[in-house]
């Protein structure tokens, strides 16, 4: 039985496929089931079917949705819960239509409730995927069939067919999900998939992105909001993409959204990854995430260990400069090493936001602060020619990890620590200035929020005395909006984008 469909009662309408093979109602070719079209709103469905017998939030297997069941019709519909409030709003659209006993309709090929599995295979061939042992997916047809213990059809559903060419590498780490490419323009994705069902802008003082979600495709993409107006422009570029059901693609190794944590880890063994290139993260919803930083790949799981989404991002090529994501006192933060040139960092982290450039005094001269908001890294470069921007050969003078940067010092201290933990690990500071603790001889300093939580961690060349210019630069950096970033990220996540997409990962050092 399809999850949550229940035992319901039925319309006798015969189904027929649209030109691509998707089963639909005969009187409305290519559109839906029992008089309700795919993507129709909840209000439209209730106008046709009346008020449902029950509605039930469905949030365990990917995007938030609500299943509405009409027991007297033998029909159920899964609606994308755009507000993620467990309720169905009149304007929210269905992403799948379902039928179960005693629904008496059949497809044009004669498949109905109670048909044997052999008849289904004779009509539709080998399924594209099988999940939970008894549910078969015909992704190109837009048909899913669930069987009972006797291998007879217990329920079936229709959804938007996955018409793209389904190669084994449709999810390409560090590159693409379906036809959404990292660095690709929003206009190209819109042309391919249509207008997103939900668009959510997120912005703080130094970063701006817009999330676009296509629930019937199972694709979420995040675009750099270059003009910071909260509106998607055709030219804006993708920085992160996720796949969830019903997306039918797989990685080159054959892992898709129907996988489990065990399958993922047997395919991509964490122990085989280089040190610092893999991290497990525990999520607030009871699930977890496996981050493969060098691959540009993340798997999110529910509490039961099922894959809820697969994300791709620009890999952190840590091996090229040998520091992973660790915060190493006196040396650097991840790939941002003291003494590295601006050109070297741009080759790894891409270009920073030019609007972030800020001139600050450093010793007897001046420096330029540059921020990479998606990596949560800030760097002060020596501005040798005093032109107010870092030049290719100018070197990193000081580097900050800003909350919620994911790396830690060798002592286990990261931006998730508090002042007590810092002092337990590093001892009494050599100097304290308000919300800052300085460990000059070790080349590290910490800035705290009012509640004592770490806001940023600065790394510099160790010195035996306080360097006034360096301290002033750090003070200015500490005043950047990192102090609000955790709350801002919570607010962004609070917009309740599809559960199963780990949006927090966008704001970590990928």
Q: Model confidence over 46-59: pLDDT tens digits?
A: 998 899 999 988 75
Q: Select the more confidently predicted residue: 23 or 76.
A: 76
Q: Which residue has the higher pLDDT, 293 or 8?
A: 293
| DSSP per-residue letters across 30-85 | TTEETTEETT-BHHHHHHHH-S-SEEEEE-SSSS-EEEEEETTTTEEEEEE-TT-S
The pLDDT, as a whole number, for residue 346 is 79
Alpha-carbon distance values, 220 to 118, 213, 310, 356 (Å): 36, 4, 10, 27
Q: Give per-residue pLDDT as tens, 244-283.
A: 877 878 888 889 888 899 999 999 999 887 766 788 888 7
Residue 494 above 60 pLDDT? no
> Which residues lie below 8 Å from residue 283, measured CB to CB, with a gap of 6+?
289, 300, 502
Contact 418, 453 (CB under 8 A): yes
The better pLDDT of the pair 61, 395 is held by 395
- Place 26 in a pLDDT band, splitting at 50, 70 and 90: very low
Q: What's the pLDDT score for residue 429?
A: 93
Query: For 52-78, what is the mean pLDDT?
Result: 79
What's the mean pLDDT in 452-458? Answer: 92
**Above 60 in pLDDT, residue 467?**
no
Phi, psi of 41 (to 5 degrees): -75, 165
Contact 104, 156 (CB under 8 A): no
Question: What confidence score (pLDDT) does residue 32 get?
Answer: 66
* pLDDT computed for residue 3 by the predictor: 38
Q: pLDDT for 95-124, tens place per residue? A: 788 888 777 777 777 788 889 999 999 988
The CA distance from 77 to 55, in Å, is 10
334: pLDDT confidence band, cut at 50, 70 and 90? confident
Strand partners, 220: 213, 242
Res 364 pLDDT > 50: yes
Return the residue matching tokens 């991002």: 313
> What percent of the chain is predicted at pLDDT more than 70?
74
Mean of all residue pLDDT scores within the chain: 75
CB-count burial class (<10 Å; 0-12, 13-18, 19+) for 18: middle
- Taking only the tens place, the pLDDT of each residue in 29-49 is 234 677 787 778 899 899 988
**Average of per-residue pLDDT across 318-343:** 73
pLDDT in tens, 206-232: 567 889 988 878 899 989 887 788 889
**Per-residue pLDDT at 497 exceeds 50:** no
Is residue 305 scored above 70 in pLDDT? yes
Least reliable range by pLDDT among 61-65, 90-94, 384-388: 61-65
Lowest mean pLDDT across 331-335, 366-370, 371-375: 371-375
pLDDT band at 329 (very low <50, low <70, confident <90, very high): very high
Which one has a higher pLDDT value, 360 or 442?
Answer: 442
283 DSSP 8-state letter = -
| pLDDT of amino acid 504 | 33
From the CB of residue 39, how many other CB atoms can be counted at a distance below 10 Å? 18
Section 14-32 average pLDDT: 37
Sequence-ordered alpha helix ranges (H) in 223-341: 261-267
Q: Could you report the per-residue pLDDT of 373-399, keeping only the tens digit for each?
A: 767 888 988 877 778 788 888 888 899
pTM of the model: 0.49
Residue 121 φ/ψ, nearest 5 degrees: -65, -35
Asked whether residue 406 carries a pLDDT value surpassing 60, the answer given is yes
Q: Where are the domains of the chain?
A: 15-158, 171-315+489-507, 318-479
pLDDT at 405 (0 to 100): 82
* 159-195 pLDDT per residue, tens: 766 644 443 348 988 888 988 888 788 888 888 888 8
Q: Out of 427-431, 432-436, 487-491, which region has the weakest mean confidence (pLDDT)?
A: 487-491
Whether pLDDT at 428 is above 80: yes
Q: Report whether 142 contacts 23 (CB < 8 A).
A: yes
State CA 355 to chain mean position distance: 26
Partners of 181 in the beta sheet?
A: 176
């Amino acid at each position: 039985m399809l999850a949550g469909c229940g035992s319901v009662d039925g319309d006798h309408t015969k189904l027929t496929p649209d030109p691509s093979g998707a089963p639909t109602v005969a009187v409305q070719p290519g559109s839906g089931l029992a008089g309700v079209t795919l993507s129709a709103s909840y209000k439209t469905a209730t106008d046709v079917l009346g008020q449902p017998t029950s509605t039930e939030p469905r949030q365990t297997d990917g995007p938030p949705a609500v299943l509405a069941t009409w027991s007297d019709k033998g029909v159920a519909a899964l609606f994308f819960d755009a507000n993620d409030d467990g309720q169905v709003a009149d304007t929210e659209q269905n992403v799948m239509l379902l039928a179960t006993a005693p629904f008496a309709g059949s497809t044009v090929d004669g498949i109905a409730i109670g048909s044997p599995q052999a008849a289904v295979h004779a009509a539709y061939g080998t399924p594209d995927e099988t999940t939970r042992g008894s549910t078969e997916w015909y992704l190109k047809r837009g048909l899913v069939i669930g069987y009972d213990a006797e291998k007879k059809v217990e329920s079936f559903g229709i959804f938007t067919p996955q018409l793209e060419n389904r190669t084994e590498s449709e999810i390409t780490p560090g590159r693409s999900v379906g036809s959404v490419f990292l660095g690709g323009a929003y206009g190209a994705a819109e042309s391919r998939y249509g207008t997103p069902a939900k668009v959510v802008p997120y912005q703080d003082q130094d970063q701006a992105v817009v999330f676009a979600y296509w629930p019937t495709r199972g694709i979420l993409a995040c675009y750099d909001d270059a003009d910071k107006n909260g509106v998607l422009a055709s030219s804006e570029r993708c920085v992160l993409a996720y796949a969830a059901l019903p997306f039918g693609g797989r990685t080159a190794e054959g892992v898709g959204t129907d996988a489990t944590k065990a399958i993922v880890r047997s395919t991509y063994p964490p122990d085989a990854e280089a040190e610092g290139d893999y991290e497990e993260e525990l999520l607030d919803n009871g699930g977890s995430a496996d981050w493969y930083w060098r691959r540009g790949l993340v798997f999110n799981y529910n509490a039961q260990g099922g894959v809820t989404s697969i994300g791709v991002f620009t890999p952190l090529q840590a091996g090229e400069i040998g520091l992973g994501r660790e915060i190493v006192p006196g040396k650097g933060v991840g790939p941002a090493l003291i003494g590295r040139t601006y050109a070297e960092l741009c080759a790894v982290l891409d270009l920073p936001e030019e609007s972030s450039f800020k001139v600050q005094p450093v010793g007897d001269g001046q420096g330029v602060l540059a921020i990479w908001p998606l990596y949560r890294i800030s760097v002060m470069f020596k501005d040798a020619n005093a032109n107010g921007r870092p030049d290719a050969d100018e070197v990193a003078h000081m580097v900050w990890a800003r909350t919620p940067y994911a790396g830690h010092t060798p002592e286990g201290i990261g931006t998730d620590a508090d002042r007590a933990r810092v002092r337990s690990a590093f001892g009494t500071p050599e100097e304290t200035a308000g919300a800052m603790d300085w460990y000059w001889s070790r080349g590290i300093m910490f800035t705290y929020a009012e509640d004592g939580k770490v806001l940023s961690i600065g790394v510099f060349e160790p010195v035996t005395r306080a360097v006034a210019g360096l301290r002033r630069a750090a003070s200015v950096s500490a005043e950047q909006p990192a102090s609000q970033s955790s709350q801002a990220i919570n607010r962004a996540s609070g917009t309740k984008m599809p559960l199963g997409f780990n949006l927090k990962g966008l704001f970590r050092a990928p």
